[in-house]
Amino acid sequence: MSRSIENIVILTGAGISAESGIDTFRDAGGLWEQHRVEDVATPEGFARDPELVQRFYDMRRAAVQEVEPNPAHHALARLEREFPGELLLVTQNVDDLHERAGASPLHMHGELLSALCAICEARHRWTGTLIEGPPCPACAAKALRPDVVWFGEMPYQMDRIYRALASCDLFVSIGTSGAVYPAAGFVQEAKGHGAQTLELNLEPSEGSHWFDESRHGRAGELVPEWVGEVLTT
């Protein structure tokens, strides 16, 4: 990293949680090998077979409560605490491992531990199952769904993200395949506004060519090393 960095935007994906034992989507044995995306991560799939979708998210909601944050999550929480400039941590992940490491991520694709009422749009912290069709604590309607952004739905807080991308001087992508938009386009957005761009990933992502620098390896090693560099320059 050359000139002084005062404003960082970080985007994380499933790869940052892989070493905690959470399946990614597109790696071998990943979630999309066990389920067709169209069946479990679209509004149409939910309308077609709500029980299949609720079971898919109930299983993931339970699994995420059995695992722990890894050194990559802890390193980003340290960066949030110690970096003197502006920092926005955006995650595509729906797990709560960033929070449990002490960070405050923007969940652009929603959260496993939150239930959304399709009737009154209230959100509730939810650690149990939804398959039984429990009543919404706010309006009593039996219309709670996972508070997760499915394909074809608008990701959360996009205006805030684009404002941050327009004003950052460094954009860092960690543990994402660059397969899903609009997140996969953030690097181009940041670059277009003059930011430096860095990718930390197990292997080159689909968007690797957009990055000024790419480091390939496990997040549990690359992220603490990079955070150490940022905090000592």
| Residues identified as active-site | 109
Least separation in angstroms between residue 98's CB and ligand BV8 is 13
Return the beta strands (E) in 122-188 as ranges. Answer: 123-125, 144-148, 170-174
Q: Does 10 sit near ligand BV8 (CB under 6 A)?
A: no
Contact by Cβ (8 Å): 18, 27: yes
The distance in angstroms from the start CA to the end CA of the chain is: 9
Looking at residues 100 to 119 of the shown chain, list those that interact with ligand BV8 (rule: CB under 6 A): 109
Q: Of residues 8, 9, 24, 71, which one binds ligand BV8 by CB under 6 A?
A: 24
Q: Of residues 106, 143, 166, 202, which one binds ligand BV8 by CB under 6 A?
A: 202
Looking at residues 54 to 93 of the shown chain, list those that interact with ligand BV8 (rule: CB under 6 A): 92-93
Q: Does 199 sit near ligand BV8 (CB under 6 A)?
A: no
Q: Does 154 sit near ligand BV8 (CB under 6 A)?
A: yes
Residue with tokens 């399946």: 23
Residues ≥6 apart with Cβ < 8 Å to 114: 123, 124, 125, 126, 146, 147
Residue placing its CB nearer to ligand BV8 in the complex, 16 or 117: 16
Contact by Cβ (8 Å): 138, 124: yes
Q: Of residues 149, 165, 168, 198, which one binds ligand BV8 by CB under 6 A?
A: 149
Contact by Cβ (8 Å): 230, 5: yes
Residue placing its CB nearer to ligand BV8 in the complex, 110 or 169: 110
Pull the structure tokens for residue 157.
Answer: 């807080």
Q: Of residues 155, 186, 196, 207, which one binds ligand BV8 by CB under 6 A?
A: 155
